[in-house]
Amino acid sequence: MVIAGLQKTTLLDYPGKVACTVFLAGCNFRCPFCQNWEIVNGKGEDISREELLSFLKKRKGVLDGVCVTGGEPLVNADIDVFLREIKEIGYSVKLDTNGSFPAKLRRLVENGLADTVAMDVKNCPSRYSLTAGTDVDVAAIDESVKYLLSGAVDYEFRTTVTDELHDGKAMLELAQWISGAKRYFIQNFKDSDAVPFKNLSPCTKEKLQGFVDVMRPYVLSAQIRGTD
């Protein structure tokens, strides 16, 4: 496991909690709009586990939550051990995942190692592999979607949208797929030097609002996140 980065304080990544965000390197997807491309490819700060755990112990009482993100955290064989070490210090854990490891996700939740899950749903099923940049087992994604919809753990779904990969038809298919979800967020693509592909662009505010309007009949809450 490579701990590729640490954001020492965040009020945004774990709603309702003062938290830090831990970035784990590695990912099984190659999304063309990824903002963490260096981390996806196994690079980063390479913080030792001992250093991170020492930081968490010192910050106990100031922080009350830890967001574990990537990359894709579940590519790590020892993610269970890592999350347990965080929990044993006394933190609440929010886990970010792309949903491609449903059995592992279920095990983490059932073992009390994730208090809330944020799952990226990249697009509607018919466009999933195109959007994820690799051949995706959509059945595995669907299993994770259904597991979260069962209410086994607190959760949210979210989608980063681009003008080229997402449209109203795709969003309707996605809405029907996650029908009944309690929280869904749309995040607009932002171009930067970190993004691996340079042929993508953000959606207009009107298009974003149209996506929200498509989603709202199917989910309990649909919002745009980060409209600055």
CATH of residue 136: 3.20.20.70
Number of domains in the chain: 1
The parent domain of residue 72 ranges over 3-225
The radius of gyration computed from the CA coordinates of the chain, to the nearest angstrom, equals: 17
What is the per-residue pLDDT for 228? 52
Q: Give the least confident one: 10-14, 19-23, 183-187, 203-207.
A: 10-14
pTM of the complete model: 0.94
If pLDDT is split at 50, 70 and 90, which confidence band does 38 have? Answer: confident
Give tens-digit pLDDT for 85-135. Answer: 999 999 999 999 999 999 999 999 999 999 999 999 999 999 999 999 999
Q: What is the DSSP letter of 101?
A: -
Rounded CA-CA distance 183/209 in Å is 16
User: In the beta sheet, which residues pair with residue 100?
Assistant: none
- For residues 223 and 208, the answer to whether their CB atoms sit within 8 Å is no
What is the per-residue pLDDT for 227? 60
What is the per-residue pLDDT for 125? 97
Give tens-digit pLDDT for 158-168. Answer: 999 999 999 99
If pLDDT is split at 50, 70 and 90, which confidence band does 46 have? Answer: confident
Return the exposure string of 35-51: e unless at least 16 CB atoms fall within 10 Å of the residue's CB, then b. bbbbbbbeebeebeeee
DSSP characters over 170-212:
HHHHHHHHTTT-S-EEEEE----TT-S-SS--PPPHHHHHHHH
